[in-house]
Each structure stands twice: as C-alpha cells, then as structure tokens.
Amino acid sequence: MKPLKLSIVMIMAIAVMAMTLPNQVQGQDREKMAKERKEMGERIKASKIAFITEQVDLSPEEAEKFWPIYNEQNKKREELTHTLMERFKGHEENLEISNEQAEEMMQQGFKQEEALLDLKREYHKKFTEILSATKVMKLYHAENNFRRGLMERLGHREGERKPEGRGMAPPLRERPHHR
C-alpha cells in the first residue's frame, strides 16, 4: 500500500505543479510585457524629444529652459487624463446606469476637460516666456505631427491597413476606357 500512497502523492504533486505553472508563466509574461512597455515608452519619449527639438529648432539654451517645463506639463496632463479615463472605468460596455449617474459622470468629465484646458493655458504662458510665439506654435504642430505619425506606425506594426482618410472610403479609381 505504501507504493500506492506514494504514487497518489506524486500524481497530486505533479497536478499541483501543472496547475501553478501557467500562473508562473503568466506572471513572467506580465513582467516581460511590462518591461517591454516601459522600454517602448522610453524610446517613444526620446524620439519625441528629438522630433520636437528639431521641428521647433530649439537652441541649446532654449532646450535647457524648455524641457523641464514641458516635462512638468506632461506629468500634470497625464495625471488629469488618467483621472478622465478612470471616470468611465467599469462602464465601457455596461452603460446600464441611471440618468442621474450618467449626468454626474458627464459633468465630472466637463470639469476635467476644463482643467486640461486651464493647464494648457497655464503652460502656454510659461512656454511663451521661454520661446517666441512662432516657436510655441511650431511646438503644437510638432506634437500633433508626432502623435499622428506614432499612431500610424503603431497601426502598421499591428498589421492594420493604412487609412485612406478620416472615416472616408478610398477614392474611386477610374478604369481605363477600352476602345
């Protein structure tokens, strides 16, 4: 009977190991993905800095004053947008909420969007203390162009088809006339 008990214990041990192994692998996968995400974020940030510096034509003196302020603004903007996204967390697919709850959520959203606009105005003033208005305008264009290019590259990386236009069908191509 001892060999039978030993066999049962061995089978149970193997079963427990088999059940916990996927969790360990998933944990390692999560850690790996988090590390890759962080590295990708750092590469994107470095690319954005280089892109903006070139597009705005920042002098070394301007860059030295500008980047700490810009990074400060980005940190505050990320905090606000995170709060904005949290507002809908848990309600993405289940919009079974009362009218009062929906109205309250929307009013909170308006307040957060106003806070984002106030932040933009505050930092616009700080930027114009360092850079000319022309360079600040170039900054805004560079940010939009970088964001658009990044989204396009990420879409291509995921194997998505390049959009032909903003929600529009591709233009019709004329067929050659046969005579």
Cα separation, 22 vs 62, in Å, equals: 52
Rank 73-87, 105-119, 144-158 by mean pLDDT and report only the highest: 105-119
- Please write the tens of the pLDDT for every residue from 12-46: 656 666 665 555 556 678 888 999 988 998 999 99
Which residues are within 8 A (CB) of 130 and not within 5 positions of it... i.e. 6 or more apart?
62, 65, 66, 69
For residue 56, pLDDT beyond 60:
yes
Over 80: is that where the pLDDT of 169 sits?
no
pLDDT in tens, 102-144: 888 889 889 988 999 999 999 999 999 999 999 999 999 999 9
- Positive or negative, the CA dihedral 75, 76, 81, 84 is positive
Determine contact, residues 65/129, Cβ cutoff 8 Å: no
pTM of the full predicted structure? 0.64
